[in-house]
Amino acid sequence: MSNEERTFIAIKPDGVQRRLVGDIIKRFELKGFKMVGMKFIKAPESLLKEHYADLKDRPFFPGLVSYMTSGPVVAMVWEGFNVVKTGRVMLGETNPADSKPGTIRGDFCIQVGRNIIHGSDSVESANTEINLWFKPEELCSYTSCSSSWLY
């Protein structure tokens, strides 16, 4: 399939603490995307500083890193047709107040500082983030039995 791609999705510490992991995974599975990698990790500060390097000059950067190291994160790689763009739509706007009902942030979040989930914003950033969080051998390639019913 020509538009099959991968994206990086991370459930942030507030999403883990609020026990939303299963609900979020269910949404991606019901949509038809295929999980090819997942890990439950207390992300080290060095990893988060590299992940959010493009925000290092912003005044909220230290608080962001502190928040992201405050508890475990569920890091995932999802695969499917236009999964980056569709995944971003499923997440909703960065500011939950701007997110529509039916999106993850629209349904579960109130404040931008606790928006429970991260999703890659482009194929290029997805590839960078996947390589930052996962080793190649931690990702599984397989054909889902539902593939022919979706595509």
Three-state SS sequence of 34-101: EEEEEEEECCCHHHHHHHCHHHCCCCCHHHHHHHHCCCCEEEEEEEEECHHHHHHHHHCCCCHHHCCE
Is 103 among the annotated ligand-binding positions?
no
94 among the known binding-site residues? Answer: yes
Per the annotation, does 88 bind a ligand?
A: yes
Residue 118 designated active-site: yes
7 belongs to an annotated ligand binding site: no
Cα–Cα distance measured from residue 46 to residue 31, given in angstroms and rounded to the nearest whole number: 33
Backbone Cα Rg of the chain? 15
Q: Report whether 42 belongs to an annotated binding site.
A: no
Q: Are 7 and 109 in contact (CB under 8 A)?
A: no
Catalytic residue from among 118, 126, 129, 133: 118
Answer yes or no: is 115 a known binding residue. Answer: yes
Question: How far does Cα 71 stand from its chain's mean position?
Answer: 16
The binding site consists of 12, 60, 88, 94, 105, 115
The binding site for ATP consists of 12, 60, 88, 94, 105, 115
Give the residue numbers marked as catalytic. 118
